[in-house]
Structures are given as C-alpha cells and as structure tokens.
Chains A and B, each alone.
Chain A
Amino acid sequence: MLLRIMKNNFLFSIGIIVCSLWIVIALMAPLITPYSYLAQDLAHRFQAPSSLHWFGTDSIGRDVFSRVLMGSRISLIAGLATIILASIVGMIYGGIAGYIGGLADEIMMRISEMVMAFPGIILAMTIAAALGPSLYNTLLAMVIIWWPNYARVMRSMVIANKENEYVEAAKSLGASHFRIFFNEILPNSVGPVLVLATLDFGNAILLFSGLSFLGLGSPPPTPEWGAMVADGVLNFNYWWIGTFPGLAILTMAVGTNFIGDSLRDFLDPRLRKEL
C-alpha cells in the first residue's frame, strides 16, 4: 500500500523520505557527528560555515552541525512521548466519560473544554517554570495541555460503539463493566484516536521546540533545536547559529505533515478515489 500511495503522491513521498532520513540520523547520530556536540573550542568561536564546520560554530566554539544532528534525538523522543502519553490519558479519560455517560460525562467534558480554552503555551510555561526547567517537566506540561482532543474523539467513539450488538451480547453473557470496556469497546474505538495522534506528531515537535526556545527544555549543554534558535537570537550577527537548527525543526515538521496531510486525504473516503 505504501509504495502504491508513494507512486501517486509526490508530497507523501517527500514526507516519507525526509522522516526516514531523520530517524536514521537520530539512530546513528553519535557515529556520524564530525565533532562532539559538547566540545568547546574558544579559539574558533563564531566561525562561519566552512568545509571544517558545515553549519559554523556557536558562541563557545561548538560545532553547530554536530549539535543539530544530536538534537534530532531529543526532538523525536519528545514528540513521540507527548503524543503517546497524551493519547493514553485522553483515551482513558474520554473512554470512561463516554462509557459512564450522564452527569459524570457532562462534568468530565466540561473539564476537558476548560483545559482546551486555557492558553496552552502559557499553561505549559507556568508548569515548566514552576517545576523548574527540565525535559521531564516540559513533557509533563505538554501532556497536560495535549490530551483533551483525544479524549473528545475517544468519547464519541465509545458512545457510538456501546450501542453495538456485540456489547449487548457480552452484557447478556454476564461480562463485567471492566471486561466490556477493555475487551469489547476499547479495541473498537482506538482507531481514530491513534490516527489523530499520528497526525499531531509534527505539532508536538513544534510546541516542544517553542517551549525549548523560551528556555523551558533541558538545561543548557543539551542540544535542543529550540534552545539553539534562541542562542541564534542572542547572537544576532551570526546568522548560522539560529538558522540551521530552525531548518531542522522545519524539515522534521514538514515531513510529518506531508505524510499526515496525504493520509488524511487517503482516509477520507469522499476524497479517496483520486489519490
């Protein structure tokens, strides 16, 4: 299927190629970086891109190219962790709300709307600033603002599925609520949530790099792309310091969004025939 779609869709192919490339880079990063991402060389700070340093060097003489390559690991992990954890939280929350129904459902959904109305980046900033800047706290903040979307989709799926005959059948066989929920309803409801989560991957990377830009990710020596762009803003006269890490964020986000965009078209039956 993958090859068939790739043959007909140019943007999708680019997305697959770019993402595969980043995954390979992330896996092999320590082997292919020409310098250590931490090695300082004060004698050669602010070097413009050259054959020695492809992306130049930063304010303390570290090789920007090596840091960009190493940074792919953190971005990929952060994006993955966020959508996985947030979709698990959302699925459980939305699943329970939809299954119980009634007043509990009403209250739970109002709470999720409240989180959605809350300015996400400010909430994340507050959480991260309050807990202290670290990778885990930033991820925690992202999960807290990210789950409600999944909860809403999950809830509507559960509500639709709990009327099905096989649920009725399980009930008449005397299955417990726990069993009905986990064995019958859950497996039939997770599909759309997983699709949504996949499509969100690029957005998660963007939000993470934004928070990291604001100084809320891991503390300094860690090569985070957002923080490296912030370094580029501080050293405004040396364009390469911020440009290349930003390009890395852009290509990763573009790659995932090309895939997501094409998948959306493909999964929408009304638009499918011409893909």
Chain B
Amino acid sequence: MGLLKYIARRLFFLVFLVIGVSLVVFVISHSVPSDPVLANLSQRNIDNPEMVEAFKAKWGMDKPLYTQYFIYVGNLVQGDLGTSIRTQRPVLDDLKDYFPATIELAIFSIIIAIVFGMLFGIISAIKRNSAMDQLIRGISVLGVSVPSFWLGLMFLLLFYVHFGIAPGPGRISPYLKPPVEVTHLYVIDALLAGNWSLARDALWHLLLPGLVLGSFTMGLITRTTRSSLLEVMSLDFIRTARAKGLTEKMIIMRHALGNALIPVVTVIGIGFGNLLGGMVLVETIFAWPGIGQYAYKAAGNLDFPAIIGVSILISINYVVINLLVDILYGILDPRVRYH
C-alpha cells in the first residue's frame, strides 16, 4: 500500500509541475522587453497597426495576463496546448511529429551509456589504481567534459567528411523512404515491416548522435559504478565471502555487484534528464528532426505556446522517469520504505 500511495503522491505533484512550468514560461513571456509580434511579423506588417492588432487578438495578447493564463490552463485541461505561432499548427500535433525522433535517439544513447558505463566502471573498480583504471577514469572524465556540440562536429568532420564511413545528418539516408509508422521509432518500424536494409540504415544514422549524446551519461555511470563497487567491496559481508574462500570473480558477481548497482540506478535517472536537455545541442548539429530542434526554433521566434508545450513534455518525462527509477530502487533495495 505504501508504494501505491507514494506513486499517487508523486503523480499528484505532476499536476503542480505542469501548472508551475507553464506559469514560469508565461511570466517570462510577458515580463520581458522582447515582443513576439516583432519576432513573427514582417517589417511591413509591423508598420501596419491593424495587422499588429489582428495578430495580438488572434493570439489573445490583447487581454490581461491572468486572463490569458486562465484561458491557456482551461485549454490545457482539455488536452489543447494551443497553436504554434511559428508553424501555425496545433502544438500537440507538432510534438507528436517531433517527439518520436527524440525518444528513439534518447533510448539508443541511454543504452550505449548504461552498457559501456557499467562495463568500464566494473573493470576500473576491479583493477583499481592500475594503468587500466587510470585510463578508464580519464575516459569517463573526458565523457563528462566534452562539449556535445563540438564532439558532434568532430565526429561529422572525421567519419562523414574525411573517412566517409559514417552517414550524414538526419534519421535515414535521403534516398530512402521512411517506414510505415507504427511506433514512430524508425528502427523498430522498419523491423516490423521486415525491411532489414532500412532498419540498418536507421540504426547507422543513430550511431554518431547517440554516441555524442550518451557520452556525458556514460561518464557519469562509469564514475558511479566504480566508486559504488569500491565502497561495497570494503564492507564486512564481502570479507565474510572472502573468508569462505570464494573466488574474487564469484564475490563480485554474486555479492558485490547487486549491491553496488543501486546508486547507479539513480544516476541513470539523472542522466536521462540530462539527455533530454542535451538534445537541443545534438539535434542542431545532426539535423535531427526532434523536439530539441523544435524548441530551439521556437525560442528563437519567441513562439511561447510551442516553448511551453515542449517544456511541459520534457518535465513530465523527467518526473516520470525519476519516479520509475525510485520504484526500481525500492525493488532492488528492500530496505527502502516509501513515505
């Protein structure tokens, strides 16, 4: 019962989060000198007072701020996020179009980050203070220190331009047609359609942006796995296991690893949140048609309905993923009690 109550409480927080996030962007959007009118109308239309009035009336900008906000929340409750000023389409439709690309890239990167991060971390801890340990620690620090937008540029220059072995920007090669959309994740859709070459092409296109996006989280996971495993290895029950005469491999696999991975799960949650934020930069470099690019263009045009939409979507994701992580945490560690 404790767990259900806990989940309910956390989901209840989501409601406030959505209200808070939309309110923050709303306040910013209306308390600043910049003007969406200037950002979205041509110079000739700005000089025409009637056009400006019509534009403001269309977007509800002629009403007082709190009225605008209540109208917005009223629509939000009905699942209407408003219309994007830039694309002239409902924000919800835009998000539906752009989000799958982002999710596909995010899932791919987090898998890379988890697999390599844990592997590196375990090796590093086992061979503590060896040259291998120093090398891996160096790599993990590089991972959290490298600016993703620059790494993306370097990868494209090296593997696409210079060696010609990696595909260029985008989700699939320009001469291929996207798969029939079921999950909207190209790799999976192509596999469902039995189109192997298309699936391979899509996967191939994920590789560079996935590596770039995952580098930070990988570094984080490596570091956490290492220090957590080292900490567990110094505990009494490991000494007991050693006294029993178990091999070092058995001790790590059977006794240490399970306990050491608990903090790693938390970091994965943080890493995923970071990933969604990092999307803006990586998608810009790789011309990846996801919400990061969408948000970037929206911010440049002061397209506030779109910005609020993206922000709500990402913060909900962040909260839900952290909730999942917390639940997983409780399953892995029976000592945890929810309250």
A contact set with B: CB distance below 8 Å: 10-11, 110-111, 113-114, 117-123, 125-127, 129-132, 202-203, 206, 209-210, 213-215, 226, 229-230, 232-233, 236, 239, 242-243, 245-246, 249-250, 253-254, 256-258, 261, 265, 268, 270-271, 274
What is the distance, in angstroms, from B209's C-beta to the closest C-beta of chain A? 14
Instruction: State the B residues within 8 Å of A (CB).
Output: 13, 16-17, 20-21, 24-25, 28-29, 32-34, 128-129, 134, 137-138, 141-142, 144-151, 153-154, 156-157, 161, 223, 227, 230-231, 234, 276-278, 280-281, 284-285, 295-296, 299-300, 302, 307, 310-311, 314-315, 318-319
Q: How far is the CB of B221 from chain A (nearest CB, A)?
A: 14
Give the distance in Å from the alpha carbon of A206 to the alpha carbon of B146 in the complex: 8
Known interface pairs A125-B295, A245-B150; 18 further A-B residue pairs with C-beta atoms within 8 A, sorted by A's residue number? A114-B16, A114-B20, A117-B319, A119-B276, A203-B144, A210-B281, A213-B149, A213-B281, A214-B284, A229-B149, A246-B154, A249-B150, A254-B142, A256-B145, A265-B227, A268-B227, A270-B231, A270-B234
In whole angstroms, what is the CA distance A243 to B150 when docked? 7
Query: How distant is the Cα of A268 from the Cα of B24 in the complex, in angstroms?
Result: 38
| Known A11-B137, A130-B29, A131-B33: A122·B299 in contact at CB below 8 Å | yes
Q: Point out the residue from B21, B141, B223 that lies within 8 Å of A118, measured CB to CB.
A: B21
Task: Please give me the residue from chain B that is nearest to A130 by CB atom.
Answer: B32
Chain A residues within 8 Å of B146, by CB: 250, 253
**A122–B307 touching, CB < 8 Å:** yes
Q: Using Cβ atoms and an 8 Å threshold, which residues of chain B touch A11?
A: 134, 137-138, 141
What residues of A have a CB within 8 angstroms of the CB of B28 in the complex? 126-127, 130
Q: Which residue of B is nearest A129, CB measured?
A: B299
Q: Does B34 lie within 8 Å of A250, measured CB to CB? A: no
Bound: A245/B21 CA distance, A: 35
> Can you list 17 A-B pairs, Cβ within 8 angstroms, ordered by A?
A122-B280, A125-B299, A130-B34, A131-B32, A206-B147, A210-B281, A213-B281, A214-B296, A229-B150, A239-B157, A242-B150, A250-B145, A250-B150, A253-B147, A254-B142, A257-B141, A271-B231
Which residue of chain B has its CB nearest to the CB of A203? B144
- A121 to B280, Cβ gap below 8 A? yes
